[in-house]
Structure 1
Amino acid sequence: MRDRSSPRRPRRPAAGPVPGEPGRGERGGIVSGVCHGTLGELYQGPLRAGPEPDIAVVSFPVDRHSWVCFTPGEAAGPPRRPPLGEKSMTAVRLFLEHYGLTLPPGDWSTYSELRVGVGMASSTADVVATLRCLFRVFSLPCDLEVMLGVLARIERADSVFLDEFALHLSGRHRVVRRLGTGIGFHTVFVTEPGTVDTAAVTSRLLAHYRRRGEEYERCLGDLLKGFACGDAAAVARAATVSAALSQEVLPKASFDALLAHRERFGADGVFVAHTGCLAGYLFTRRPAAGVKCELSAFFRSLGHQCSFAQGGYG
């Protein structure tokens, strides 16, 4: 029997990861990075009225994600081409150059619930997930400034690098105001055919913003007041105004029908991917099963299969 009067031998603390050195994942050495996407924007327009408008966005986060995994280890056979996209591979190179690191041997794998080119921030989410994975590979704290610096050298970006709403200058990669996590919506949306190249339509957008600057400024003011008060219905109304203004320059085929039938379904607002192909309804309360059936039939009558998803955070 052990002598209870004798002190226990102190346990030696487990060695932690060494920053800057390749770490090991929780199981089998696998390390993962994850990032949510968006359902377009609740607002996209100028930050303020004026002759030289900046493109400001309040992205609409959705509970759908992009995953990037890295499994360290020597691969058998000839080297395999990484499954990462071109932008994510650029992010890997810029990350390693910034820290002066060398990636250990291993394999990348990816998976995404986000469709490409429709307004779900798929490429930005891929890049952010890749960077989050790299921070974990090397046991480094996730540095937002480093992430923004990498994104700035790759593309105009949505604010999916934050886990909250934000008013964000997408071209300058600058967060103007954090808007918190108090607002959330139930959504139903469709994806119209085609894709939109944001860079190709930027000049048209800026010309439109100059023409309608005062309307956009009022819209953004109402949206920010809604966030400040935690009033989801007010945010939904402002999002509808932003979507309607976008319709003048990058129209969605289903938008007029959505707007005309909004009250019939009890929706609080309409949202779109301003430079994408998404359009849908915002609900501050979960639609009942019967309403979902009616919504499905309605969107099918427009030639689309609808999807339901949780947007925001509240």
Structure 2
Amino acid sequence: MTTHHPAPPPPTAPTGPTTRPGPGTGRAPSHHGELLQGHFADAGGRPRAALVTLPVAEPGTLAVYTPRPGTPPDAITVTPAGRTKAVRAARLALAACAARTGRPAHGGALRLTGAVPLGLGLGSSTSDVLATVRAVADAHGVRLGPAATARLAVRAEGASDPLMLDGRPVLFAQREGEVLDVLGPALPPLLVVGCLLGGGAPVDTLALPVPAPTGADLRACARLLDGLRRAVADQDAALLGKVATASARRAQRVLRQRDFEAVAAVARRTGAVGVQIAHSGCAAGVLYDPAAPDAAARAAAGRRALAAHAVPYTRTFTAGGPNPLV
């Protein structure tokens, strides 16, 4: 009698380092400029350029990276064309993934979609870069943590915003990609009336002078940082507004943004807690405490006052609070 043995099962697809990379996706948020920016003494007493951003979940960027096996790793195409920082980020991420997996890096096609306005200081380039790094890593089955992603972002951009973090308020050394201080779990909730200074004209921060920080500068920034730390600990929107306004006013010594004083006056007249700006762009926000019983009416008055000063209005949104990037 002949015994029939079942056919062996087909081999399963290889996993791990031998898996052929497929398309990957990555998402990244944006921000609405800074709450604080300047020079701060680090733990060793060395002055460091650093900032605290106002993160927002939307608008954001979606990146899709499709590897093309057999092509050289520098053969990256990008849509829309001209996103050179994202292309640099893709190449850097490819090298990082190859080092992690032991597989050779290949070129590919990168597609970016999103609605982060360009050139206003809202983190559009960092959003592109972060989404790209995440998409390339996803295509290769690699997880790159926040610290590694920050280092890649700085190498791609020269300076980066802390969008790769979880939305907690941090003092971030933008040129090194390093967190200098975690200020607390979350910013106090804010209602923000966004606008554009100088009619929306871009700010070429690379062309602006960067004076060396003095002892007085470091002491002033330390006081503002201490105030922001207390605002986070106490969930005090009013104190946060004072810090953001003082930081924005200090920046005007270099930026000299048209309409800043008009926007500051609007904030005072409409019961806002303060103003914040994009230190590397023209975006600004009039900040209101959403816990105030007439917060919506104050924000509406702020929008009308901006229009009376011919300051372009962008949008009204909430920020801060727990899970700001969800």
Give the shorter-chain TM-score range: 0.7 to 0.9
* 1:166 is aligned to 2:170: yes
Once the two structures are TM-superposed, the CA of residue 19 in structure 1 deviates from its matched residue by: 5.8
| Residue among 236, 251, 255 paired with 1:250 | 255
Q: Which amino acid in 1 is paired with 2:145?
A: D
Alignment gaps of 5+ in structure 1:
1-13, 25-29
Q: 2:259 & 2:285 partners in 1: Cα distance?
A: 9
Residue 144 and residue 293 in structure 1: after superposition, are their counterparts in 2 closer, same or farther (change >3 A)?
A: closer
Q: Judge conservation of contact 1:17–1:139 (CA < 8 Å) in 2.
A: no
- Matched with 1:296 is 303
* 1:216 is aligned to 2:221: yes
* 1:145 is aligned to 2:147: yes
- Matched with 2:62 is 67
Q: Judge conservation of contact 1:296–1:305 (CA < 8 Å) in 2.
A: no
Determine helix, strand or coil for the equivalent of 1:108. Answer: strand
| Residue among 262, 270, 274 paired with 1:269 | 274
- Matched with 2:207 is 200
| Residue among 37, 41, 44 paired with 1:44 | 37
Q: Judge conservation of contact 1:208–1:249 (CA < 8 Å) in 2.
A: no
- Matched with 2:24 is 31
Once the two structures are TM-superposed, the CA of residue 239 in structure 1 deviates from its matched residue by: 1.0
Q: Which amino acid in 2 is paired with 1:312?
A: G
- Matched with 2:8 is none
Q: 1:105 & 1:99 partners in 2: Cα distance?
A: 12
| Residue among 123, 127, 130 paired with 2:129 | 127
> Where does 1:2-21 land on structure 2 (aligned, <5 Å)?
18=16, 21=19
Q: 2:20 & 2:236 partners in 1: Cα distance?
A: 45
Once the two structures are TM-superposed, the CA of residue 157 in structure 1 deviates from its matched residue by: 0.9
Provide TM-score, normalisation by structure 2: 0.78
Q: Which amino acid in 2 is paired with 1:253?
A: R
Q: Which amino acid in 2 is paired with 1:259?
A: A
Q: CA RMSD in A?
A: 3.0
Residue 80 and residue 208 in structure 1: after superposition, are their counterparts in 2 closer, same or farther (change >3 A)?
A: closer
* 1:280 is aligned to 2:285: yes
Once the two structures are TM-superposed, the CA of residue 45 in structure 1 deviates from its matched residue by: 0.8
How big is each residue's C-alpha offset from its partner over 1:61-112, in whole Å with a ceiling of 9 and x where there is no partner?
Answer: 12321221235689xxxx9942161111111111222232456676432112
* 1:312 is aligned to 2:308: no
Q: Judge conservation of contact 1:226–1:235 (CA < 8 Å) in 2.
A: yes
> What count of residue pairs does the alignment treat as equivalent?
290
Once the two structures are TM-superposed, the CA of residue 209 in structure 1 deviates from its matched residue by: 5.6
Q: 1:208 & 1:259 partners in 2: Cα distance?
A: 25
* 1:113 is aligned to 2:115: yes
Q: Which amino acid in 2 is paired with 1:206?
A: P
Larger mean CA deviation between 103-112 and 189-198 belongs to: 103-112
Determine helix, strand or coil for the equivalent of 1:157. Answer: coil
How big is each residue's C-alpha offset from its partner over 1:104-124, in whole Å with a ceiling of 9 and x where there is no partner?
Answer: 676432112222222111111
Alignment gaps of 5+ in structure 2:
1-11, 70-74
Q: 1:145 & 1:280 partners in 2: Cα distance?
A: 29
Residue 182 and residue 223 in structure 1: after superposition, are their counterparts in 2 closer, same or farther (change >3 A)?
A: closer
Q: 2:296 & 2:148 partners in 1: Cα distance?
A: 45
| Residue among 226, 230, 239 paired with 1:225 | 230
Once the two structures are TM-superposed, the CA of residue 139 in structure 1 deviates from its matched residue by: 1.5
Q: Which amino acid in 1 is paired with 2:164?
A: F
Q: 2:38 & 2:66 partners in 1: Cα distance?
A: 41
- Percent identity of equivalent pairs: 27
Q: 1:22 & 1:298 partners in 2: Cα distance?
A: 58
